[in-house]
Amino acid sequence: MTQSIKEILKRTDYGAVVNVKGWVRTRRGNKNVSFVAINDGSCVHNIQVVIDNERFGEEFLKPITTGSCISVIGKIAESLGKGQSVEIQAETVEIYGTADPLTYPLQKKGHTLEFLREIAHLRPRTNTFGAIFRLRHNMAMAIHTFFHERGFFYFHTPLITGSDCEGAGQMFQVTTLNLYDLKKSPNGQIDYSNDFFGKQTSLTVSGQLEGELAAMALGKIYTFGPTFRAENSNTPRHLAEFWMIEPEMAFYEIADNMQLAQEFIQYCIRWALEKCSDDLEFLCERHDNELIDRLKSVVENDFVRLPYTQGVEILQDAVAKGQKFDFPVTWGIDLQSEHERYLVEQHFEKPVILTDYPKEIKSFYMKQNDDGKTVRAMDVLFPKIGEIIGGSQREEDYEKLKQRAEEMHVPEKDIWWYMDTRRYGTAPHSGFGLGFERLLLFVTGMQNIRDVIPFPRTPNTADF
């Protein structure tokens, strides 16, 4: 049986025989002895294997180079070397796979994150990406645990859809029509009746609409799945394929929704601090030395709750006092990332939940306020990230929702089933969407969203 390096490093029963299998990170030594550092992905630390050169022979040991994969059986011994407690004295060594040093791209020297993106098939073997992907796993576990413990049900919403939830028209079409021989009607329309689903379909931009149907039956649900947006924004915060967590709760008003969002994010970050300290310490040391302090500060402080209108006043005030923004600030604008970050990083120095946005810049389903101008939206804005969560209380009134859908050109034929929830047993309800990779940006301290998902999809990139 193979033991994981993570487990072996904790042991003190020197002399016990173990079997480790992993990838060689480095090999050094002298004429008599080789020190081989192996990593098996179980943790950021390597284990040192000590090999007696004479016993195994130069020829046999030669292919043990960076990137090769070996299995070692040997005794656990107390290590005298700096920075490690335990090493293994090799008794048998098997080489599973070699890695020609002339072509293996991951050599010992530090590589840039940009270069590593080009070899996304190998970058999980670096310390940085090992740490990131272990954190990614841990955040997924934290999310499921958080909701499960609070009586939410994990509900699966479809990825292929006939409706545009956000109404932003940024959808990837799904079709089996022959694009080389596309039949069009005399007025230039494509006849989708011959398509696979007999109508035009796309990849979903959000599971919310179906999530609301579930909340109107199961009470509290959440979705957690891939989401697709064909927005052509080549920024460090946008992916064409990202993962989103969308809780939806019957009988929650906006204030309950905000409280849940805060507790949810704090729970995930606390999980990372408690269960992933080795990986966080590594990332802190290597990439961002304020990371752990930043995580702690978010766990310890309440998020600010601030209506959009007041946010705009603060920004205008700042401009009057000499603050420069690229985009002008007027009531009604969709705040730019520079504005969001000013509020969070300079003005309040903690996360801000901005509420009650102008209805024109938000989706049709948000509950309308009595002022006739704003809706009960809530965006959670984070330091270094900007928007991490978007959500709202939902419009539960059939007539008001119908009117807003019409005004925003959401076709009734696409959402008749959604409208039905307002016709049959409607109830106040709320929900939000957390961008999983945006959370990971915050938790890992990485700067580019392409570095927190294994195989990023962005404009002009769909490799691996």
* Contact residues: Mg ion, CB under 5 A: 390
Which backbone phi and psi does 23 adopt, to 5 degrees? -105, 135
Question: Taking CB under 6 A as the rule, does residue 123 contact ligand 4AD?
Answer: no
Q: Which position has the token pair 């994010």?
A: 265
H runs (alpha helix) in 226-330:
254-275, 277-286, 291-300, 308-320
Measured from the CB atom, the residue of 42 and 204 that comes closer to ligand 4AD is 204
Smallest distance from the beta carbon of 93 to ligand 4AD, in angstroms?
45
Q: Which stretch binds ligand 4AD (CB under 6 A): 27-35, 66-74, 156-164, 241-249?
A: 241-249
| 219 burial level (CB within 10 Å; 0-12, 13-18, 19+) | middle
H runs (alpha helix) in 94-243:
113-118, 127-149, 208-218
Measured from the CB atom, the residue of 155 and 357 that comes closer to Mg ion is 357
Q: Are strands 153-154 and 220-228 parallel, antiparallel or unpaired?
A: parallel
Q: Which position has the token pair 């130069």?
A: 58
Smallest distance from the beta carbon of 46 to ligand 4AD, in angstroms?
33
Binding mask 352-391 for ligand 4AD (x = CB under 6 A): -----------------------------------xxxxx
Residues 6+ apart with CB under 8 A from 26: 36, 37, 46, 66, 108
Measured from the CB atom, the residue of 252 and 432 that comes closer to Mg ion is 432
Q: What are 244's strand-pairing partners?
A: 225, 435
Smallest distance from the beta carbon of 291 to ligand 4AD, in angstroms?
19
Give the separation between CA 200 and CA 223, rounded to whole angstroms. Answer: 24
Among candidates 1, 124, 19, 6, which has minimal Cα distance to 67?
Answer: 124
Q: Restricting to residues 416-455, name those near ligand 4AD by CB under 6 A.
A: 431-433, 435, 437-438
Q: Which stretch binds ligand 4AD (CB under 6 A): 102-110, 142-150, 240-248, 320-328?
A: 240-248
Measured from the CB atom, the residue of 22 and 433 that comes closer to Mg ion is 433
- Determine which residue in the list 18, 20, 142, 165 makes contact with ligand 4AD, applying CB under 6 A: 165
Q: Which position has the token pair 């009134």?
A: 397
Residue type, 290: E
Smallest distance from the beta carbon of 364 to Mg ion, in angstroms?
14
Smallest distance from the beta carbon of 329 to ligand 4AD, in angstroms?
20
Give the separation between CA 148 and CA 224, rounded to whole angstroms. Answer: 13
Residue type, 9: L
Cα within 13 Å of Cα(378), Cβ side: 27
**Binding residue count for ligand 4AD, defined by CB under 6 A:** 22
Give the interface with ligand 4AD as residue ranges (CB under 6 A).
Answer: 165-166, 206, 208, 229, 231, 238-239, 242, 244, 246, 387-391, 431-433, 435, 437-438
